[in-house]
Amino acid sequence: MTPPAHPAARDSAALGAALDDPVELTARLCDIPSVSGDEARIADAVEAVLRELSAGGGPELEIVRNGDALIARTSLGLRERVLVAGHLDTVPVEDNLPTDRRVLDGREVVWGRGACDMKAGVAMQLAVARALRAPTRDVTWVFYDHEEVDASLNGLGRLAADHPQMLAADLAILGEPSNAGIEGGCNGTIRVEVTTSGVRAHSARAFMGVNAIHAAAPILAALADYEERTVTVDGLDYRESLSAVGISGGVAGNVVPDACTVVVNHRFAPSTTGAEAEARLRELFAGFDVTVVDLSEGARPGLDRPTAQAFADAVGAPVAPKLGWTDVARFSALGVPALNFGPGDPLFAHRADEHVPAAEVLAASSALLAFLEPTAPAPAWADEDAR
């Protein structure tokens, strides 16, 4: 049979042929380049697959496209709704495409850009969508663009603004790499610039000026003396941090500087609001000029909610706190408890040797399917779970 000539048709055909093998599907998704800002091709392919699934015997899907983001929802009238989301974009390629199947430390892996962050999570979504026949919970599948760049471009943020009613759910699961375990919620993050001022003078007559860099010493001392807190939220221990992440000042080698700026990043527990975190920093650096340059609220894991606890029980592994910030916070802002759950070690995200273990792709896919349809027939990939 002659393969489809149009690139979009070829891509969707390649993905469709691998829906029963999440590992191969991961590789095929990776081999569709989708660096942030160039997601149209992969969005086209995923949309075509979703439309085929909707017409192919599984639950019918209401599909909405917004730019290069997609929402696909079942409407079975079930008591609960679970949303599963994943981003389609990657950071730039580092001579790590096309993908390769390798054995590392005795494990089969898919090696290549996007394998870990997060085409394996997208493969999990599509493979489970293909396997579902009679889910016990309504499902919303979300695929979005521009996650790896400025937050103002984020496709999930655009969907939340344009279609908030379509993101309503009892639980959101974000397929970010978490070693096929659950990481609940996430810490919030705030970045501020703490600035000192002085008076310029020739360094040969430094006594005529006021050195703004010297004036930053109390800022650095406050950071060094800061005692990090561990805060328990919904049974998970979130460790906070406060760090100087940048410092700038100086005019020339023979000039006493009249300005110095220390950039400070604070990661705060999800029980703390952004306003509270800002107030904390302003109190710590009282007497200095403090300017907020970035602020993202944290997200509670929602493990006090029955649906979230049921998912944790289905996965059968301890839930860990997410110390970094992820898009689960966007769901939390909509009142939806959210968890991170996906194959891959986040420590390999964005690296030239990015990869994902095949066994984790299969395990995560199996766990998600078992949660959404406990009585589902064993999928085609079940016999390979030991890989």
Choose the catalytic residue: 24, 47, 89, 327.
89
Q: Which residues contact 378 (CB under 8 A, 6 or more apart)?
A: none
The token pair at 46 is 């995923």
Distance CA 244, CA 192 (A): 10
**154 residue type, one letter:** N
Choose the catalytic residue: 11, 39, 44, 147.
147
Side-chain half-sphere CA neighbours of 226 within 13 A:
24
Burial of 274 (0-12, 13-18, 19+ CB in 10 A): middle
Distance CA 286, CA 318 (A): 41
Q: Answer left, alpha or beta for residue 101, where phi above 0 means left and psi between -120 and 50 means alpha.
A: beta
**14 residue type, one letter:** A
Distance CA 42, CA 55 (A): 20
The token pair at 108 is 């089969």
Which H/E stretch holds residue 143? strand 138-144
Among the listed residues 176, 182, 210, 184, the one whose alpha carbon sits nearest the alpha carbon of residue 196: 210
| 327 catalytic residue (yes or no) | no
Among the listed residues 233, 27, 31, the one whose alpha carbon sits nearest the alpha carbon of residue 120: 27
| 147 catalytic residue (yes or no) | yes
Q: Which residues contact 193 (CB under 8 A, 6 or more apart)?
A: 261, 262, 263, 264, 290, 291, 293
Active centre residues (catalytic): 89, 147
